[in-house]
Amino acid sequence: MFAPAYLDHNATTPPDARVLEAMLPFLTERYGNPSSRHEYGRAARAAIDAARQQVAAAVGAHPTEVVFASCGSEANNLFIKGAAACLKPGTIAVSAIEHPCVREPAADLKRLGWGLHEIAVDAEGRVVAADFSAALAKPAKLVSVMLANNETGVLQDIPALAAQARAARAWFHTDAVQALGKVAIDFRALNAAGVNALTISAHKIYGPKGAAALVLDKRVELKPLISGGGQERNLRSGTENVAAIVGFGAACELATAQLEADAARLAELRGRLEEGLAGPGASIYSRNAPRLPNTTFFTLAGIDGETLVAQLDRAGYAVASGSACSSVSPEPSHTLLAMGVEPGMAKGALRVSLGRANTQEDVARFLQALDETVRKLKGLAAVAA
Amino acid sequence: MFAPAYLDHNATTPPDARVLEAMLPFLTERYGNPSSRHEYGRAARAAIDAARQQVAAAVGAHPTEVVFASCGSEANNLFIKGAAACLKPGTIAVSAIEHPCVREPAADLKRLGWGLHEIAVDAEGRVVAADFSAALAKPAKLVSVMLANNETGVLQDIPALAAQARAARAWFHTDAVQALGKVAIDFRALNAAGVNALTISAHKIYGPKGAAALVLDKRVELKPLISGGGQERNLRSGTENVAAIVGFGAACELATAQLEADAARLAELRGRLEEGLAGPGASIYSRNAPRLPNTTFFTLAGIDGETLVAQLDRAGYAVASGSACSSVSPEPSHTLLAMGVEPGMAKGALRVSLGRANTQEDVARFLQALDETVRKLKGLAAVAA
């Protein structure tokens, strides 16, 4: 089988073999419904309880604060729509660089009569303090700012933002889907600062697709999106995806154990990559801000991102022109536009997100392939001109 | 490992080995995000497309009518809340024996200003025609009546009910989660009769937990519960659970191939079981109505259902006192109460739901264990008296 080098770990990650091993009993002989009272049901319930402990431990939360959901998008929608349903319409503030699964629920609230404030970011993609204060002054009832951006990898100063939100009596949520496993997360400390909820997902940390969690301060009242049998403290009904939840727990444990080593190694690899990108003259976004250690988002002037992704795919390198979730539309990255990047440059953007299996050789070979591809594309452009 | 005989297939089913085999590549080397443009992403997208064909074929639908969701509860909530969000408040009518994941969303609509009509059922658990007409006359805008009940197995005459709903200009939905794989389902014919949507789920048909579908007439406008990246024609955002969806497809194909043989064999086994239940004098519910071939719901007078489940579990038989989704509460079955069964009798109810692996010997041994357990419990009762 043709197996291109995978350099797109912010889109999804390969499940770790140990994760799959942990899941398999729940896809074979331990198939019970966790709500059943018999042996099969109790074994499934015990497995979910154990996974809840593992997930909670990975983010410094109490197990009873973990609400399992099917994906990060669901968890983000649950917080925004669920909290809004318990409040009278007011203002929701979300940063201009949120994932669509935060921006769209916020837009849904706007259609229901809420005010929507998109918090501006600066040229590096960091929240503009003055605009954040302006949003809170409206006053905002709900605030969501992502911990790490999926495209640039830029990190926000969440404790500082959350402290302001708490002072303004707004619920503060952070989408930590891209941060988990790449930087340390401590919900206890974040919660003390003012964070009321955070979202994490299994498939970004070498776990399976199909499990995510909203880690939730119990003072926040939420209406469920999915009502019914009352699972997950009535916040998320439906038969639990036991195998995926077990895999999420296993992946969390591995992520914690490997966090420091992974982060250091990936930062070093990313450094080599970015040195190499100086050759073809790449503009690297958010380079002067704190970033995830594995992510590089850049533009090579005069080269189209989509074309480059397709050419590199053919050459055996899986990279992205932006987040996978907006890959269906050919629009330039909304993250870059919010940062004030000119649309032509934004359309040229390419994201490389490194992961556990990547090596120095992958990076060296990728740089070579990129160089050849760019030469070819520029050659074509010269012929056409 | 202690492996009790599993007689609770309406709660969940063991994934078929061929289903797991189909899933494994998507938990290992084919791990791409279906929204990614590269080789990994395209392989995942192709797998979802193929599974959509398999699922559609199993219920006689067009692939573009299949909307994947994470579980049956989500699909039922999506239809009810999603359709209601596109309508001005009116009346929703649901049968009195629906699963909580239909009754609760209907109750949620009531809190938003909708009228709620619970359609009465008769002593056999069949919808009362006069009350169904009364519900439509209000007039109802949304109607949901399950194809097969999860506890009694009773089947409703869905084409006749749907035809009336269409004449009354109401959207008609049917929860077919328990019906799939046990009786034939033809969405094309149902849709022609007046059914606008039906819900099916993988884990009830020897597929994995984590995948389900709303099969949807495109004339129905729905607002998504989960908004974001725009997956599933904008009706269900979030990274698709590729492996579970692939497993759902494989399970659907097997269910179709084995439907007739499975149904005939299970009906025969169930016949033996019900003959045997005459000995201890069981009252079998819905026996005079069309039922699923695998389900028996009965009470042994003077015996508590919960106690019996626990004793039988210890003896090595996994059965239920009612649906798994309401097993967390000790309330008597709402299905039986709606049928006019006296609460004391309803509390004694036991559900046996047979499946592919069950044999004549399982049934014979279960009947013997039941007989012994009942003697013991009656003996204890006599001593206590």
The verdict on B369 touching A (C-beta cutoff 8 Å) is no
Same domain, B209 and B311: no
Give the mean model confidence (pLDDT) for residues B358-381. 93
Last residue of a domain, one of A253, A277, A298: A253
B181-217 pLDDT, tens digit per residue, is: 999 999 999 999 999 999 999 999 999 999 999 999 9
Least Cα distance to B367 among B282, B246, B265 occurs for: B282
Same domain, B188 and B76: yes
DSSP B289: S
- Phi, psi dihedral angles at A140 (to 5 degrees): -85, 140
In angstroms, what CA-CA distances link B103 with A37, A223, B119? 23, 16, 11
- Strand A295-299 and strand A283-284: the pairing is antiparallel
- Strand B349-353 and strand B295-299: the pairing is antiparallel
DSSP B195: -
In angstroms, what CA-CA distances link B340 with A347, B147, B346? 66, 20, 9
Q: What angle do CA A253, A255, A258 make, to 5 degrees?
A: 110
How far away is chain B from the Cα of A366, in angstroms, using its nearest Cα?
15
**Structure token pair of residue A371:** 């160089």
**Residue recorded with tokens 């996978």:** A324
| Residues 85-104, chain B, touching A (beta carbon < 8 A) | 99-102, 104
- Residues in chain A with CB shorter than 8 Å from the CB of B28 are 14-15, 20
- Residues in chain B with CB shorter than 8 Å from the CB of A40 are 4, 6, 8, 318
Residue type, B43: A
Task: Check: CB of residue B323 under 8 Å from CB of residue B336.
Answer: no
Residue type, A223: K
Start-to-end Cα distance in chain A: 39
How far away is chain A from the Cα of B307, in angstroms, using its nearest Cα?
11
For B379, counting Cβ atoms within 10 Å of its Cβ (0-12 exposed, 13-18 middle, 19+ buried), the class is: exposed
Secondary structure (DSSP) of A247-285: HHHHHHHHHHHHHHHHHHHHHHHHHHHHHHHHTTT-EET
Last residue of a domain, one of A228, A253, A278: A253
> Cβ contacts of residue B384 below 8 Å, gap of 6+?
none
> What pLDDT is stored for residue A322 in this prediction?
74
The verdict on B356 touching A (C-beta cutoff 8 Å) is no
A139 preceded by a cis bond (ω within 30 of 0): yes
CA atoms within 13 A on the CB side of A344: 3
- Contact across the interface for B27 and A15, Cβ inside 8 Å: yes
Give the mean model confidence (pLDDT) for residues B106-126. 98
Q: Which residues in chain A show pLDDT less than 70?
A: 1-2, 323-330, 383-385
Same domain, B371 and B264: yes
Higher pLDDT, B321 or B170: B170
Task: Check: CB of residue B97 under 8 Å from CB of residue B121.
Answer: yes
- Strands of chain A, DSSP E: 5-6, 66-69, 91-95, 115-119, 140-144, 171-175, 197-201, 212-216, 283-284, 295-299, 317-318, 349-353
A325 is catalytic: yes
CATH number at residue B91: 3.40.640.10
Closest residue of A to B239, CA-based? Answer: A71
Same domain, A243 and A303: no
Closest Cβ opposite residue B226 in set A31, A225, A328: A225
Least Cα distance to B99 among B13, B184, B161, B174 occurs for: B174
Q: Is residue B325 pLDDT above 60, yes or no? A: no
| Residues 31-50, chain B, touching A (beta carbon < 8 A) | 31-33, 35-41
The ipTM of this complex is 0.97
> What pLDDT is stored for residue A385 in this prediction?
62
Task: Check: CB of residue A349 under 8 Å from CB of residue A284.
Answer: no
For residues B213 and B205, give the distance between their C-alpha atoms in angstroms, rounded to a whole number.
13
Same domain, A228 and A115: yes
Q: Which of A86, A101, A252, A325 is catalytic?
A: A325
- Contact across the interface for B325 and A35, Cβ inside 8 Å: yes
Same domain, A77 and A224: yes
For B358, counting Cβ atoms within 10 Å of its Cβ (0-12 exposed, 13-18 middle, 19+ buried), the class is: buried
Q: Which residues of B are catalytic?
A: 325
> What pLDDT is stored for residue A247 in this prediction?
98
Task: Check: CB of residue B109 under 8 Å from CB of residue B81.
Answer: yes
Same domain, A178 and A70: yes
> What pLDDT is stored for residue A3 in this prediction?
79
Q: How many domains does chain B have?
A: 2
**Structure token pair of residue A148:** 């790490």
Look over chain B and give the mean of its residue pLDDT values, rounded to a whole number.
95
Adjacency order of strands within the sheet including A91-95? A66-69, A212-216, A197-201, A171-175, A140-144, A91-95, A115-119
Same domain, A70 and A190: yes
Give the mean model confidence (pLDDT) for residues B99-110. 98
Which residues face A94 on adjacent strands?
Answer: A118, A144
**Residue recorded with tokens 């016949």:** B271
For residues B297 and B282, give the distance between their C-alpha atoms in angstroms, rounded to a whole number.
10
Closest Cβ opposite residue A243 in set B32, B74, B209: B209
Closest Cβ opposite residue A31 in set B15, B36, B73: B15
SS3 A160: helix
- Contact across the interface for A3 and B29, Cβ inside 8 Å: yes
Closest Cβ opposite residue A6 in set B40, B72, B310: B40
Reported as a pLDDT band with limits 50, 70 and 90, residue B118 is: very high
Residue type, A384: A
Closest Cβ opposite residue B208 in set A20, A243, A310: A243
Least Cα distance to A298 among A268, A278, A269 occurs for: A278
Closest residue of A to B77, CA-based? Answer: A226
Least Cα distance to A352 among A296, A311, A299, A308 occurs for: A296
> What pLDDT is stored for residue B323 in this prediction?
64
- Contact across the interface for A31 and B13, Cβ inside 8 Å: yes
Same domain, B71 and B195: yes
The verdict on A238 touching B (C-beta cutoff 8 Å) is yes
> Cβ contacts of residue A46 below 8 Å, gap of 6+?
none
Q: Is residue B267 pLDDT above 90, yes or no? A: yes
- Residues in chain A with CB shorter than 8 Å from the CB of B104 are 227-228, 237
- Contact across the interface for B241 and A241, Cβ inside 8 Å: yes
Question: Which pTM value belongs to this model?
Answer: 0.97
Domain range for residue B226? 17-253
- Contact across the interface for B41 and A226, Cβ inside 8 Å: no
CATH number at residue A367: 3.90.1150.10
**Structure token pair of residue A17:** 């073999």
- Contact across the interface for A37 and B306, Cβ inside 8 Å: yes
Last residue of a domain, one of A253, A285, A307: A253
Residue type, B167: A
Same domain, A144 and A66: yes
Q: Is residue B328 pLDDT above 80, yes or no? A: no
Q: What angle do CA A361, A363, A368 make, to 5 degrees?
A: 95
For residues A81 and A104, give the distance between their C-alpha atoms in angstroms, rounded to a whole number.
10
Segment holding B121, helix H or strand E: none
Adjacency order of strands within the sheet including B171-175? B66-69, B212-216, B197-201, B171-175, B140-144, B91-95, B115-119
Same domain, A88 and A51: yes
Determine the number of helices (DSSP H) and then strands (DSSP E) in chain B: 12, 12
- Contact across the interface for B227 and A14, Cβ inside 8 Å: no
Same domain, A33 and A127: yes
Cβ count near B127 (within 10 Å)? 23
Determine the number of helices (DSSP H) and then strands (DSSP E) in chain A: 12, 12
**Structure token pair of residue B293:** 């071939």
